[in-house]
Amino acid sequence: MELMQALRRLADVDDEWDDKGRRFQQARSRLSDVATLETRRGEQRSRQEELAARRRRLHDLELELEGLQERARQVEADLYGGGVLAPRELENLRRDGESLKRRMDQLEDQALELMEQVEMLGASVEEGAAELASFERDWSEETASVREEYTTLRSRLEELKAERDMLRAAIPRRELALYDELRRSKGGRPLAPMVDRVCQICRVSVPTHKATIAEGGGDTVATCEGCGRILYLA
């Protein structure tokens, strides 16, 4: 392969390497980024845990209320059953009954409030579960697509690297160093096409001796007087 052919091919390979390398990094980043998914899962777990906590609290209240209701029935039976006749004992029973009633009223209010909260949280958990399932399906489909792209890009990059190494080994050291420097300093465009002895990038006319070199396709290169890029015959 002639020197200019090798340089032009290397430029094409480097351009593709940069493009696919950038896309490869993006795909790898997307595959490793599960923060959004974990956040949504965490939010759903929090809703479920809150619902479970409210249900436990409601269950405890109902058990306590049942116990107080049983005690209240016993107090009422003692108060009106005729077995207790002493005024002091009757007064104590009456006070116990009133105290139990107040406490039961408080628990019933709390239980009603908790029942409303449990109902609302239950609906929120169901809605959250549906949304999470939908998000996980979409995420899984997108991830599968990205993983396929990642695999394809990795394979292509390996091919490009092998060709790139081969091309660089075939190009003389001086011309390769010039190419690398121009690629760094010229925004990734080290070569310039020449048409009718005019550089097509900066539009500067190419001197005859340099045009002859660019046209000849030999073992040396010529650079543009204007932009400094390596010239080739387009």
Residue 205 is classified by DSSP as: B
Residue at a domain's end among 146, 170, 194: 170
CA-to-CA separations, 29 to 35, 153, 160, 213, in angstroms, rounded:
11, 14, 21, 46
- Residue-level pLDDT at 81: 86
- Residue-level pLDDT at 216: 83
For residues 59 and 123, membership in a common domain is answered with yes
- Residue-level pLDDT at 83: 85
Token pair for 85: 């006749």
For residues 32 and 106, membership in a common domain is answered with yes
For residues 152 and 55, membership in a common domain is answered with yes
Is residue 119 helix, strand or coil? helix
Q: How far apart are CA 52 and CA 47, in angstroms?
A: 9
Domain hosting residue 224, numbered range = 173-233
* β-bridge mates for residue 192, sequence order: 231
Token pair for 195: 């048409």
Residue at a domain's end among 144, 170, 196: 170
**Residue 28: CATH number of its domain:** 1.10.287.1490
Encode the chain (234 residues) as per-residue pLDDT tens digits: 799 999 999 999 999 999 999 999 999 999 998 999 999 999 999 999 999 999 999 999 999 999 999 999 999 998 888 887 788 988 999 999 999 999 999 999 999 999 999 999 999 999 999 999 999 999 999 899 999 999 999 999 999 999 999 999 999 999 999 999 999 999 999 999 999 999 999 999 999 999 999 998 778 999 999 999 999 999
For residues 150 and 192, membership in a common domain is answered with no
Residue 173: CB atoms within 10 Å: 8
For residues 192 and 87, membership in a common domain is answered with no
For residues 151 and 188, membership in a common domain is answered with no
For residues 177 and 165, membership in a common domain is answered with no
- Residue-level pLDDT at 26: 95
For residues 127 and 166, membership in a common domain is answered with yes
For residues 20 and 136, membership in a common domain is answered with yes
Pairing, β 191-195 against β 230-233: parallel
User: What domain count does the chain have?
Assistant: 2
Backbone angles phi and psi of 194, in degrees to 5: -120, 130
Q: How far apart are CA 213 and CA 231, in angstroms?
A: 9
For residues 8 and 27, membership in a common domain is answered with yes
For residues 186 and 138, membership in a common domain is answered with no
For residues 226 and 137, membership in a common domain is answered with no
